[in-house]
Amino acid sequence: MAGNYSVQRETIYQVLKSTKTHPSADWVYRRCRDVLPGIGLATVYRNLELLVEQGRAIKINVAQGKDRYDADVTPHFHTVCPICGKVSDCDTDGVIAKALDGECERRGYQGWSLIFTDVCPDCRSIKQIKISRSDQ
């Protein structure tokens, strides 16, 4: 097959791998521009989508519009702040994770996503809604 490599693709993947913040496409785009000033937003979207298809990243759908991406494809739990939308990893209870894997096999499902709702520390202290939607 021809022309399957590109600096852009590699950069996007490296940027995504370098963070644990579950960034949005836009955030990845901005970080990529530090290295490749000419990169286009569409390229970032296209490649993130490709990474997901290839199983090298996952997409996390939360409210607040933006989709988030994560290069950590090992099954793990997430928390989402209902106020600012920030996504974080949280301790993944092994027993529950095993049980979920079991359910998948038993029922023929392809995977699971477990998200806990948790007002994040920032929003807890600010106590005001919609001040800052996490700009990740």
Residue 99 interacts, among a second copy, DNA, none and using kind-specific CB cut-offs from 5 to 8 Å, with a second copy
Q: How far is CA 40 from CA 26, 27, 58, in A?
A: 11, 13, 21
Shortest Å distance, C-beta 94 to DNA:
31
90 DSSP β-pair partners? 77
Q: What is the DSSP letter of 12?
A: H
95 interacts with a second copy by CB under 8 A? yes
Shortest Å distance, C-beta 118 to a second copy:
5
Residue 45 interacts, among DNA, a second copy, none and using kind-specific CB cut-offs from 5 to 8 Å, with DNA
Residue with tokens 């477990």: 114
Kind of pairing between the strands at 58-61 and 77-80: unpaired
Which residue number, 15 or 100, has a Cβ lying nearer to DNA?
15
Which residue number, 6 or 92, has a Cβ lying nearer to DNA?
6
Contact 52/69 with Cβ under 8 angstroms?
Answer: yes
116 interacts with a second copy by CB under 8 A? yes
94 interacts with a second copy by CB under 8 A? no
117 interacts with a second copy by CB under 8 A? yes
Residue with tokens 């209902």: 82
Q: Identify which range of 12-20, 27-35, 39-47, 60-68 contacts a second copy by CB under 8 A.
A: 60-68
Q: Of 107, 89, 91, which Cα lies nearest the Cα of 99?
A: 107
